[in-house]
Structures are given as C-alpha cells and as structure tokens.
Amino acid sequence: MTRNQSANANRPLTLRDVSEASGVSEMTVSRVLRNRGDVSEATRTRVLEAAKTLGYVPNKIAGALASQRVNLVAVIVPSLGNLVFPEVLAGITEVLDETPLQPVFGVTNYEPDREEKVLYEMLSWRPSGVIIAGLEHNEAARAMLKNAGIPIVEIMDSDGDPVDAMVGISHRRAGRQMAQAIVEAGYRRIGFLGTKMPLDHRARKRFEGFTEAMAKEGLEIVDQEFYDGGSALVKGREMTQAILSRTPDLDFLYYSNDMIGAGGLLYCLDQGIDVPGQIGLAGFNGLRLLDGLPRKLATMDACRAEIGREAARIIAEHAGDEAGGGERIVLKPKLQLGDTLKRRTAR
C-alpha cells in the first residue's frame, strides 16, 4: 500500500477520496474541479456532488507543486495603521478580483531587515508577482527581487531606479510643488513638522523637495519639529503648540502627513488663531477624513487607490512571465488648496 488509505479518519480529504466516492479517476476529478478539458456533463455532476458531499477542499500546495503555478501575489507594505496603505490594498484587491490571482499581504514596520525577512518568506511560496512599497531596499532584498524571475512592481514612489516595473508619484516633486504654492501665496516664515524620517523615504523626499524649492526662492525653513509614534492627531497638536511657542512669528506650517496636519489645524482653531490669515497650513495624502474637519486642510492627493490598481494590472498582465516588463507609471498628485492655503498680501 503506497498511499495512506488506512484508518486515519481525520486526515484531510484527497482527490482520491472524491475519486472513490464518485467512481471516476483522480485525473477526471481534477479536471472537473478545475474546469479543464472536456468532461461529460454526467461525470461532471457526479464528481461535483461527491466533492460537495464529502466537503473536499483541494490541496493547493500539491496543485502548485505539480503545476508550477501559484496564483498568489505578494504585497508588501510598511504599515497598515497609516490608512494610506489599506487604500492601496483596496485598489490592488479590486483589480485582482477580476483575475484568478490572490493578494497576500505582508507588513514591514518600515524596518529594512523585516522587509527582507517578509520578502524571503513570501518568495519561498513562489508567488506569481510581487508588489512592494518603495524603491529603497537593503542589498539582500534587492538581490532577491532581481533574481526572483517573476514580475515585480515597486509602488508609491518614483524617485529612484526600480528593479522592474514602478507605479508611483514623485515625492520630491510633490514637496517642491507645495513649497511653490506656499511661497506664491505670500507666506515667508515657514515651519516644517513631520515624522522622524530616517526610514520613511517618501516623507524624506517630500522634505527634500520642499527645502530645495524654498531655497530657489531664497528661503529656508525657519523652524521644525519631529515626532515618533503615538496618535498622529495628538502629536500634531503637541508639535504645533511646541513650534509656535518657540517661534511665534511663523506664518505657515507644512506637515508631512494629513493626520498631524489635522491635529495642528484643530489646535490652531482651538487657540483662535486665524487660519489661513495669520498662519497657513498644509498636509499630505489627501485623506478623505479631512473633508469632515471644520476647515479643509490644504493637501496633495497621493493617488493611493490608483497606484494599487495600476500595480495590480501590471502584475495581472504579466502573470506567468519572468518579469513585469519594466513599465514606469508616474502619477501626478493634485494640489488641493482647501481653506488653509490662501493668497495673501505680504506683511
């Protein structure tokens, strides 16, 4: 007896069980369950009935090993607590839903070593593609991506060199654009508030683009404040209080994300500060949350859902290929001035 047909009642069901129950060969059962090849309607019905009665769930592990095909797409993001990433995932899911592909999510907490580990684990399941946030990876991760032999799409960022395909926005450009809008509106004493950024490359690039564009106008950031962990809304309030008590004559505050921006806005309103007359404010991401605030914060849309959709499309189009075709999609975020960034006369 080469196969286990013995007394273990709790062993998961196999194709063979369905085969025996329906009196049809394993191969034909397999065909029916995958809708492959020609099978007579009669056998088909019998097999499906048997499978259903038994409660058979196919073993994809065996199937994948035999067919050398896995319908999983590895999706690797830094965090889920950020609201930005769930929206990207929603975009991905929306598109993959139309295909046989299935997304599998991994989270890195912005740690390169963790990213490496997550990527390694996921690649060891031989997925049909990888969608990964950012263009910065440690050496090992980069090597794995290069040699994976499957389509790779790096998302969210376009400032750098992708391994294969890329869908994102230029955060440097976003920073520049916001700086220009702020300066053009007549603000001059500008403060920056953001995350401690060593590992959030996109926030860093926005900051760099911002300071660069300011420099072109002969301006510098007057004061800055950074945070780390905690509720972003609360941190936004606290940092705003801190920076304004240290440097009361600031006339604009640029926040590295909408949540801390919203906190800052609420703080300013609490304090009776005239926004945007006395102080202008801007954030980043274009969170829908902002629509519910008393005043609409200026921001830029990070094109989250569209990034997800495009990335998924690329993977779907290249599933089974050895690479994703190297397509590069750079989306243009729209500046939304809202109520907190308004032209004013210089003081």
Partner DNA sequence: TTGAAAGCGCTAACAA
Partner DNA sequence: TTGTTAGCGCTTTCAA
Task: Give the residue, chosen from 15, 18, 144, 243, that forms a contact with a second copy under the rule CB under 8 A.
Answer: 144
The SS3 call for residue 156 is: strand
Query: Which of 66-74, 96-104, 202-210, 256-264 is the region at the interface with DNA (rule: CB under 7 A)?
Result: 66-74
| Closest residue by Cα to residue 191 from 228, 224, 235, 152 | 224
Distance CA 335, CA 184 (A): 14
Contact status: 7 vs DNA (CB under 7 A): no
Q: Where would I find the beta strands (DSSP E) of 113-247?
A: 129-133, 152-157, 165-169, 190-195, 223-227
Could you give the string, one character per residue 267-296, with x where binding to DNA holds by CB under 7 A and - elsewhere?
------------------------------
Asked if residue 25 binds DNA (CB under 7 A), the reply is yes
Other CB atoms within 10 A of residue 53 CB: 11
Tell me if residue 139 falls in helix, strand or coil: helix
Least separation in angstroms between CB 189 and a second copy = 25
The residue among 190 and 239 lying less far from a second copy, judged by its C-beta, is 239
Are 110 and 199 within 8 A, CB to CB?
yes
Nearer to DNA, 57 or 346 (CB): 57
Give the whole-angstrom CA distance, residue 146 versus residue 82.
Answer: 28
Q: Check the CA dihedral 129-131-135-140 and report its sign.
A: negative
Q: Should residue 5 be labelled a site residue for a second copy when binding is judged by CB under 8 A?
A: no
> Is residue 262 at the binding interface for a second copy, with CB under 8 A as the rule?
yes
Tell me how far, at minimum, the Cβ of 66 lies from DNA, in Å.
3
Distance CA 98, CA 316 (A): 9
- Residue-by-residue DSSP string for 120-161: HHHHTT--SEEEEE-S---HHHHHHHHHS-S-EEEEEE-SS-
Tell me how far, at minimum, the Cβ of 15 lies from a second copy, in Å: 12
Rounded Cα distance, 165 and 155, in Å: 9
Comparing CB distances to DNA, the nearer of 31 and 172 is 31
Site for a second copy in 267-286 (CB under 8 A): 269-270
How far is Cα 211 from Cα 102, in angstroms, rounded to an integer?
41
Which residues does residue 74 pair with via DSSP β-bridges, in sequence order?
104, 130
3-state SS, 13-24, equals CCHHHHHHHHCC
Q: Which is nearer to DNA, 45 or 231 (CB)?
A: 45
Taking the complex as a whole, how short is the minimal distance between the CB of residue 69 and DNA, in angstroms?
Answer: 6
Which one of a second copy, DNA, none is in contact with 40 (Cβ closer than 5 to 8 A by kind)?
DNA
CB of 236 to a second copy, least distance (A): 7
* Site residues (vs a second copy, CB under 8 A): 10, 12, 55, 57-62, 64-65, 70, 80-81, 83, 86-87, 89-90, 93, 102, 104-105, 107, 120-121, 123-126, 143-144, 147, 149, 230-234, 236-237, 262-263, 266, 269-270, 288-289, 291-294, 322
Question: What is the binding site for DNA (CB under 7 A)?
Answer: 2-4, 11-12, 14-16, 24-28, 30-31, 33-34, 36-40, 42-44, 58-59, 62-63, 65-69
